[in-house]
Structure 1
Amino acid sequence: MSLHSKLQQREAEGRPIRIGLIGAGKFGSMYLAQIPRTPGIHLVAIADLSPDAARASLTRVGWDPARTQARSAQEALKTGATWITDDWQAVTRNAGIDIVVECTGNPVAAVQHCLDAFAHGKHVVNVTVEADAFCGPLLARKAQDAGVIYSLAFGDQPALICDLVDWARTCGFPVVAAGRGHKWLPHFSESTPETVWGNYGLTPEQAERGGLNPKMFNSFLDGSKPSIESSSVANATGLFVPSDGLLYPPASVEDIPVVTRPKSEGGVLERKGMVEVISSLEADGRRIPYDIRMGVWVTVEAETDYIKNCFEEYNAHTDPSGRYFTLYKRWHLIGLEVGVSVASVALRGEATGVATCWNADVVATAKRDLMPGEMLDGEGGYTVWGKLLPADRSLRMGGLPLGLAHNVKVLRPVKKGQSLSWADVAKDMSTDAYKLRAEMESMFALPDAKVA
């Protein structure tokens, strides 16, 4: 039975999936827009630092105000309405809620929310992939130990990439490479919230009209978000990562199977079975026609002549050898697709992407020379960007994960382009996020690793 049919059945039986949402920003609002159009779903509660902002989001996406008049979670459960609060624990600890959708975008807070939800028997769909990037393998284990499901969010690119990888492997294809697209030139790694709009392709006026957050958008542009998402994909699928960061080879959709081959066969990969990100810009800045900027892809290999001949007979577009084929989705719809994760977790007991190993890490890297006393401002800010590295390399250098490079003080000079280590900053050891990361580093420690 399809997920939609199962949702319709739950609706008919009066047993909707009961959801709690933490964070009603842009991503959360996109999911909110779809909930009234999805059978078998009851949004019991929304927790947001600003309940008024959450109400404004509901109005913006077209909710009937009468649906948000519940004065408590208990009232919401009885009436089918939605309760709005600023108390996130009222969501994670409410016995009537089945799944928590974590949508804050704050990695330190997200870890706390996830752990508390697990402790109170809640499944979690984690939209805050920044948290998954630095401690996803242990979050997954904590969820398993608690008897609940932890999942990446469908609609975001990592879960969509995981879906393509699963398709390939289920069909019997070896995965040569998988990833997403991005608008990239090397100097974008130095971008700040003040320079983001020109590089991104919007005017400041357009950004202001849309209420767009320059720091959040800059985290995409400067390479942090592609690294974060690639890290989550590598840890969920077991794919490897480049030894010194993403390469961002420029390619049209047509050329993806050409560039995502091993170097020995004319591509860019160090080996088969890797994550990579395709740039939508040529090295000189020219836009590539029919790009994959907003999409995802997987490249597979025909291991026999028969399979290679099938590619040819059915007009599958391949590299010149005929052996490498790329399947892709050119677009992703972000929060509008999260319902797939909610339904999959609740009705099939399956995550739409979850870490199974620790292959990759994202290390905070200086955008400019940093001096003692300066405060790091995390992804998308003025001080650091995220560089994707193999987890064992990050462990050996004591790499500072980007997700914990928020509001921490620099202790010693760091040169532009240098990846930071734990020794470069004053660690905030009080948070659940730090403690979980330290526990994970100890679990995976190498003989010469400089763990947190």
Structure 2
Amino acid sequence: MNLATLLQKRVAEKGPVRVGIIGAGKFGSMMLAQARHIPGYHVVGVADLNVAKARESLKRVGWDESQYSAKTLGEAYKSGQTCIVDNGAALAEFEGIECIIEATGHPIAGVRNALAAIEGGKHVVMVNVEADVMCGPLLAARAKAKGVVYSMAYGDQPAFICELIDWVRSCGFELTAAGKGMNFEPRYRYSTPDTVWGFFGWTEEEVKAGDFNPQMYNSFTDGTKAAIEMAAVANGTGLDCPDNGLAFPPAGLHDLANVFKPASEGGRLARSGLIDIAASQEPDGREVLNNIRFGMFVTFKAPDEYTRACFKQYGLLTDKSGWYASMWRPFHLIGLETSVSVLSAVLRGEPTGTSREFRADAVATAKTNLKAGDMLDGEGGFAVWANAIPATKSLALDALPIGLAHKVKLIKPVAKDTAVCFSDVELVDNLDVVDFRREYTRTMGR
């Protein structure tokens, strides 16, 4: 990749790469922890609605207060320090910043921040998969029209899955499936912010010691985050979601090639070309041996007998037939690795994965029998979970994307495990983002 070499050259010729970060939560904190160890990588500004929280985050990850004491972005630009502001638009408007990392985790804010950054001529690294899955291909098209890069965030699982898929295709193997690992049991689907820490097995002391948001972590637990990320991968790679949503078949490393192949060949997939999750627990709660809970994987098929023989000769883990094999990355370090996306965008003009087409959607689905008058509370809340389904099915239902299910009132009852549709809700706020979503489905729907 040679990004480190390109960065050295850039610093010698033009000075450091200058970055703005919106959102100083867990992901943002991890980016900031590593940023100060990368010569030539200058975080000019950090934006967070809670400035005090941003300061606490910087202190927690080892920054000296003098490093984030700049009063203005201009002062930060000149001095090499960092300025903390309460408005992401300020970063988008500041000419000295080349790349914006959107890490708020809020889909409505994410769309607005990305549009502002693109309009301001900034590359965008979209940590906010919640926003990306709702209308990422249209954001990418807007970025291309402005001559800037719109990228998935290296360090997060969608970008790594895209990287693995690119490897398969660049080698000429037949891509069969792709996905990630996850600690999931069917009962987790109905977890709430009140019950989530029990599923993680963390004590109250451990929770209090970290910057953990129970609703955000519940979105990981109830399968919502998985649906969001897998739908985003589909939109970036041309793969598809299973017709009825992710199946979460349990599988360890030794079994990936056996499980993630077509049922006609003895696997668990309806066909090739699908995304899904390798659950790290059996339905009865037993841990899967050699699971890939924190990793990502692809499965692929040898195109001919010679390649099949090479798979065996060079130690690839294959299925029993030897035709299907797997490749994986066993971990992801989220914000600790996101500088790779920034440097790729600024120095090479290339994304580390990007949304291209509307192939899949993450739609709001009732966690319980909901009544007219109930309020939807978004990802990881009490009311809905996200189901990853094909875009064609979402369009036929006129399903409400999970990203718009925030503080929205139901005007009709919705049965448990049923998709919420636009006709079921009253939309009175965030109409600019609703309109952008409508433009996306109108112009990119199949």
- TM-score w.r.t. length of structure 2: 0.98
The answer to whether the 8 Å contact 1:429/1:435 transfers is no
Hey, what does 1:28 align to over in structure 2? 28
Matches within 5 A, 1:39-118: 39-118=39-118
Shift, 1:330, TM fit: 1.0
Shift, 1:202, TM fit: 2.1
Deviation string 1:390-423 (CA, Å, 9 cap, x unpaired) is 0010000000000110010011111111111000
State whether structure 2 residue 267 is matched by structure 1 residue 267.
yes
Secondary structure in 1 matching 2:36: helix
Hey, what does 1:158 align to over in structure 2? 158
Hey, what does 1:396 align to over in structure 2? 396
Structure 2 letter corresponding to 1:42: H
**Aligned pairs, number:** 446
Q: How far apart in 1 are the matches of 2:142 and 2:256?
A: 37
Q: How far apart in 2 are the matches of 1:88 and 1:70?
A: 17
Q: How far apart in 1 are the matches of 2:331 and 2:261?
A: 23
State whether structure 2 residue 198 is matched by structure 1 residue 172.
no
Q: How far apart in 2 are the matches of 1:258 and 1:240?
A: 19
The answer to whether the 8 Å contact 1:222/1:380 transfers is yes
Shift, 1:14, TM fit: 5.0
Q: How far apart in 1 are the matches of 2:280 and 2:358?
A: 29
Deviation string 1:406-451 (CA, Å, 9 cap, x unpaired) is 01001111111111100010123644321210101211456xxxxx
The answer to whether the 8 Å contact 2:26/2:212 transfers is no
Hey, what does 1:292 align to over in structure 2? 292
Deviation string 1:181-234 (CA, Å, 9 cap, x unpaired) is 111111211111111122223233422332421111110110000000001100
Shift, 1:372, TM fit: 1.0
The answer to whether the 8 Å contact 2:99/2:122 transfers is yes
**Cα-Cα RMSD:** 1.2
Shift, 1:88, TM fit: 1.6
Shift, 1:140, TM fit: 0.8
Shift, 1:18, TM fit: 0.8
The answer to whether the 8 Å contact 1:16/1:41 transfers is yes
The answer to whether the 8 Å contact 2:26/2:211 transfers is no
Shift, 1:40, TM fit: 1.6
Q: How far apart in 1 are the matches of 2:372 and 2:241?
A: 32
State whether structure 2 residue 338 is matched by structure 1 residue 343.
no
The answer to whether the 8 Å contact 1:102/1:126 transfers is yes
Secondary structure in 1 matching 2:87: coil
Shift, 1:12, TM fit: 3.1
Secondary structure in 1 matching 2:372: coil
Hey, what does 1:449 align to over in structure 2? none
- TM-score w.r.t. length of structure 1: 0.97
Hey, what does 2:183 align to over in structure 1? 183
Hey, what does 1:450 align to over in structure 2? none
Q: How far apart in 1 are the matches of 2:207 and 2:230?
A: 27
> Structure 1's 148 and 289: CA in aligned 2 closer, same or farther, altered over 3 A?
same
Q: How far apart in 2 are the matches of 1:430 and 1:284?
A: 42
Secondary structure in 2 matching 1:49: coil
Structure 2 letter corresponding to 1:58: L
Deviation string 1:48-91 (CA, Å, 9 cap, x unpaired) is 11111111111111112212121111111111111111122110
Secondary structure in 2 matching 1:352: coil
> Structure 1's 153 and 428: CA in aligned 2 closer, same or farther, altered over 3 A?
farther
Hey, what does 1:419 align to over in structure 2? 419
Hey, what does 1:258 align to over in structure 2? 258
Q: Which is further off, 141-150 or 222-231?
A: 141-150
Hey, what does 2:11 align to over in structure 1? 11
Q: How far apart in 1 are the matches of 2:425 and 2:172?
A: 46
**Unaligned runs of at least 5 residues, structure 2:** none
State whether structure 2 residue 239 is matched by structure 1 residue 239.
yes
Secondary structure in 2 matching 1:261: coil
State whether structure 2 residue 150 is matched by structure 1 residue 136.
no
> Structure 1's 212 and 445: CA in aligned 2 closer, same or farther, altered over 3 A?
closer
The answer to whether the 8 Å contact 2:50/2:86 transfers is yes
**Unaligned runs of at least 5 residues, structure 1:** 447-452
